[in-house]
């Protein structure tokens, strides 16, 4: 099964070249000596310097991170609680309606999700006689809303895998249900919560379409800023920014990968010792 | 599970409230705006106005379908080959497939302009051999390329996942019973991978049909898909009512497509069980 023909290796390599061609181009042109994103003209670091001195871009970067942290914390708390609630729901009809509502943001095209939320905010704004309702609060609500299904759907399977008898045993032994939940259930679903939180965070960082319709002029995120920059002729500083983001993500992924393989080894070792 | 019903209700309440306010209410807003005019009076004008854009809808579905098919044709062999390589290579390769998804898709799309442009990377390369510049940007092919490039990982990952989870003993059984390699792929591997293919198709088709950035950049504004029209109604034309009607139709159309797809999976699944 593990035998790979050279032809299939070549095919894998070709697909990777296709996936990474824009990244390579972007990195090369971020060191361009001139303003062009088409013709290379010498090597320079000026675009990186330019980037760090650009207060609008730096502010957008800060906004993006702030938004991602706050929204992912809220959606993780709310989503994990919702998953526990949905899992324990007795009413079949209510359960399936809640699950349908949860699936809507995942099935709908992002543009429809963005527009529907914008219309709600505008409508409420009209009721309150305010014209500029769009701002930090609306983009925060929108981000929490599109992250929630991902958190719920990564916690629910862990709850299904968990053993309900342990929770019952804890209660039979005199543990209060709330305490039993934190002592017994939470450790069993922790990995689902963590992966949901990571997903929520990264989705928020990278979201453009939903932010585009729900953001206000006083709170711009990085993707929104990049969008307005690419409306004009882009200078290599945007490429420099993306190259930096690329490097950061690459390092994070490598670290995660190493941690993962270490814990795998540890688990295998522990299992071996148990037997 | 023994848990006080009051406690369960307390856990459920925030999320149910949230989904009613920010998932259900926005959708009602889309319907409300679609059937009212600027003053808020009931009207069918917006729905009638859709007829001007029917050809745009058909064009969008066409583009989405072509991009989805190309993604499937590239991703399926890739996932198959990848699932048959060594474990550590697989881990790295999956990471490399996911990495581009975490970078700003705006910049990644923009850098294709550097590659495909009139004085871009490919044309400069061709120029070395005295070949005249080829117009690649602002063509339907460039838009399709942008879609395939952006959404290919969403096709690869689900197919790869079903490939790795596939029960090897079934394939071995088929081989033991005298099944040839190609026959085995057709009769065993493809039917078993249908769930991954279906979720891949969904994840590529929905964003492709509704995209607006890719067409603006790589299509140069000459190719107008439904995403562009909707975006225009909200960001430049300020006709929220027509935009809402178009969004409503887009949403219904995609739900029908997903429904049809779901219907096919069910029957296919039964087929593979029977076999």
Q: Mean of the pLDDT values across residues B178-206? A: 88
Which chain A residues touch B22 with a CB distance below 8 Å? 117, 120, 141-142, 144-145
Query: Is the per-residue pLDDT at B69 higher than 50?
Result: yes
pLDDT of residue B268: 44
pLDDT of residue A273: 54
Contact A58, A240 (CB under 8 A): no
Angle between helices B87-98 and A236-274 (to 10 degrees): 150
Query: Is the per-residue pLDDT at A167 higher than 50?
Result: yes
Which chain A residues touch B170 with a CB distance below 8 Å? none
Closest residue in chain B to residue A77, using alpha carbons only:
B15
Which chain A residues touch B227 with a CB distance below 8 Å? 109, 111
The total domain count for chain A is 1
Residue A179 lies in a domain: yes
pLDDT band of A149, cuts 50, 70, 90: very high
CB proximity B199 to A under 8 Å: no
pLDDT band of B270, cuts 50, 70, 90: very low
Query: Is the per-residue pLDDT at B5 higher than 70?
Result: no
CA B140 – CA B223 distance, rounded (Å): 7
Length of chain B: 275
Which chain A residues touch B244 with a CB distance below 8 Å? 115, 119
For testing contact with chain A, the best of B90, B94, B103, B231 (most A CBs within 10 A): B103
Contact B239, A142 (CB under 8 A): no
* pTM attached to this predicted model: 0.88
pLDDT of residue B204: 95
pLDDT band of B273, cuts 50, 70, 90: very low
Contact B239, B233 (CB under 8 A): yes
Residue A227 CA from chain centroid, whole number: 19
Closest residue in chain B to residue A14, using alpha carbons only:
B78
Tell me the Cα Rg of chain B: 23
CB proximity A21 to B under 8 Å: yes
Length of chain A: 275
Closest residue in chain B to residue A230, using alpha carbons only:
B110
Q: Mean of the pLDDT values across residues A124-131? A: 87
Residue A91 lies in a domain: yes
| Closest Cβ–Cβ partner in B26, B207, B227 for A119 | B26
- Sign of the dihedral defined by the CA atoms of residues A221, A226, A229, A231, in that order: negative
Give the number of other CB atoms < 10 A from CB of residue A240. Answer: 25
For testing contact with chain A, the best of B31, B32, B110 (most A CBs within 10 A): B110
Which chain B residues touch A26 with a CB distance below 8 Å? 107-108, 111, 114
A107, B153: Cβ pair inside 8 Å? no
pLDDT of residue B23: 93
Closest residue in chain A to residue B32, using alpha carbons only:
A119
Q: Mean of the pLDDT values across residues A104-108? A: 88
Query: Is the per-residue pLDDT at B263 higher than 80?
Result: no
Q: A247-265 pLDDT, tens per residue? A: 988 888 888 878 877 777 7
pLDDT band of B266, cuts 50, 70, 90: low
Report which DSSP code applies to B10: H
Query: Is the per-residue pLDDT at A73 higher than 90?
Result: yes
CA nearest to B141, candidates B210, B215, B72, B242: B215
Query: Is the per-residue pLDDT at B271 higher than 60?
Result: no
Q: Which residue has the higher pLDDT, A105 or B66?
A: B66
| Closest Cβ–Cβ partner in A4, A145, A171 for B85 | A4
CATH code, A245 = 1.10.3720.10
pLDDT of residue A83: 93
The token pair at A71 is 């929204």
Q: Which residue has the higher pLDDT, B266 or B56?
A: B56
Cα distances from B65 to residues A103, A104, B224, B249, B250, in angstroms, run 23, 22, 16, 18, 15
What does the mean pLDDT of chain B come to? 87
Contact B235, A97 (CB under 8 A): no
Q: A212-239 pLDDT, tens per residue? A: 999 988 899 999 999 988 888 888 888 9
Residue A1 lies in a domain: no
Query: Is the per-residue pLDDT at B222 higher than 50?
Result: yes
For testing contact with chain A, the best of B21, B32, B71, B104 (most A CBs within 10 A): B104
Where is B31: in which H helix or E strand? Answer: helix B25-34
The boundaries of the domain holding residue A110 are 6-269
CB proximity A61 to B under 8 Å: no
Contact A147, A75 (CB under 8 A): yes
Q: Mean of the pLDDT values across residues B180-206? A: 88
Residue A248 lies in a domain: yes
The token pair at A38 is 């088409």
Contact B185, B166 (CB under 8 A): no
B11, A38: Cβ pair inside 8 Å? no
Q: Which of A79-88, A253-262, B180-189, B257-266 has the highest mean pLDDT?
A: A79-88
Residue A274 lies in a domain: no
pLDDT of residue B258: 82
Residue A195 lies in a domain: yes
CA B188 – CA B275 distance, rounded (Å): 9
The token pair at A78 is 């709310």
Residue A154 lies in a domain: yes
Which chain A residues touch B108 with a CB distance below 8 Å? 22-23, 26, 242
CA nearest to A156, candidates A195, A197, A189, A111: A189
**Least confident piece of the model among A163-172, B4-13, B18-27, B51-60:** B4-13
B23, A245: Cβ pair inside 8 Å? no
CA nearest to B149, candidates B116, B102, B118, B105: B105
For testing contact with chain A, the best of B102, B127, B128 (most A CBs within 10 A): B102
| Closest Cβ–Cβ partner in A4, A25, A86 for B114 | A25
Query: Is the per-residue pLDDT at A198 higher than 80?
Result: yes
Report which DSSP code applies to A43: B
% chain B with pLDDT above 90 = 49
Residue A275 lies in a domain: no
Domains and CATH numbers, chain B: 62-274 (1.10.3720.10)
Angle between helices B25-34 and A110-127 (to 10 degrees): 80
B22, A227: Cβ pair inside 8 Å? no
* B149/chain A closest Cα distance in angstroms: 7
Q: Which residue has the higher pLDDT, B112 or B6?
A: B112
pLDDT of residue B39: 85
CB proximity A93 to B under 8 Å: no
The token pair at B235 is 């960001």
Q: Mean of the pLDDT values across residues A171-189? A: 87
Q: Mean of the pLDDT values across residues B229-246? A: 92
pLDDT band of B116, cuts 50, 70, 90: very high
């Amino acid at each position: 099964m593990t035998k790979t023909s050279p032809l299939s290796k070549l095919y894998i390599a070709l697909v990777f070249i296709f996936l990474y061609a824009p990244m390579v181009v972007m990195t090369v042109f971020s060191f361009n000596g001139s303003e062009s994103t088409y013709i290379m003209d010498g090597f320079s670091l000026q675009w990186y310097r330019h980037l760090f001195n650009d207060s609008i871009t730096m502010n957008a970067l800060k906004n993006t991170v702030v938004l991602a942290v706050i929204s992912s914390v809220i959606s993780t708390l709310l989503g994990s609680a919702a998953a526990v609630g949905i899992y324990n729901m007795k009413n079949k009809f209510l359960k399936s309606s809640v699950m349908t509502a949860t699936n809507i943001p995942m099935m709908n095209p992002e543009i429809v999700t963005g527009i529907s939320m914008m219309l709600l905010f505008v409508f409420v704004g009209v009721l309150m006689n305010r014209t500029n309702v769009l701002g930090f609060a609306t983009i925060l609500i929108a981000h929490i809303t599109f992250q929630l299904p991902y958190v719920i759907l990564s916690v629910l399977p862990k709850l299904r895998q968990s053993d309900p008898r342990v929770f019952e045993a804890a209660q039979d032994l005199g543990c209060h249900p709330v305490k039993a939940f934190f002592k017994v259930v939470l450790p069993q679903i922790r990995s689902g919560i963590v992966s949901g939180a990571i997903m929520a965070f990264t989705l928020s960082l990278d979201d453009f379409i939903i932010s585009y319709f729900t953001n206000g002029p006083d709170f711009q995120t990085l993707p929104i800023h990049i969008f307005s920059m690419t409306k004009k002729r882009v200078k290599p500083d945007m490429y420099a920014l993306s190259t930096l983001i690329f490097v950061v993500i690459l390092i994070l992924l490598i670290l995660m990968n190493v941690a993962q393989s270490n814990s795998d080894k540890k688990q295998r070792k522990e299992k071996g010792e148990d037997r | 599970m023994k848990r006080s019903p009051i406690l369960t209700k307390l856990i459920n309440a925030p999320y149910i409230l949230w989904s009613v306010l920010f998932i259900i209410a926005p959708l009602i807003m889309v319907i409300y705006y679609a059937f009212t005019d600027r003053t808020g009076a009931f009207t069918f004008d917006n729905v009638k106005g859709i007829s001007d854009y029917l050809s745009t809808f058909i064009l969008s579905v066409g583009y989405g379908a072509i991009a989805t098919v190309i993604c499937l044709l590239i991703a399926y062999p890739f996932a198959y080959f990848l699932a048959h390589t060594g474990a550590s290579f697989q881990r790295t390769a999956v990471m490399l497939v996911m990495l581009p998804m975490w970078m700003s898709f705006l910049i990644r799309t923009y850098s294709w302009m550097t590659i495909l442009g009139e004085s871009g990377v490919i044309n400069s390369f061709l120029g070395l051999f005295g070949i005249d510049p080829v117009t690649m940007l602002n063509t339907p092919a460039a838009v399709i390329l942008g879609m395939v490039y952006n959404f290919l990982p969403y096709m690869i990952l689900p197919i790869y996942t079903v490939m790795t989870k596939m029960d090897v003993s079934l394939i071995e059984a088929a081989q033991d019973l005298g099944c040839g390699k190609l026959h085995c792929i057709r009769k065993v591997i493809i039917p078993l991978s249908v769930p991954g293919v279906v979720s891949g198709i969904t994840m590529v088709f929905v964003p492709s049909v509704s995209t607006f950035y890719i067409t603006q950049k790589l299509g140069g504004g000459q190719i107008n898909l439904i995403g562009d029209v909707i975006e225009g109604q909200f960001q430049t034309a300020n006709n929220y009512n027509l935009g809402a009607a178009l969004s409503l139709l887009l949403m219904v159309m995609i739900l029908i497509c997903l429904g049809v797809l779901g219907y096919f999976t069910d029957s296919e699944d039964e087929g593979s069980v029977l076999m």
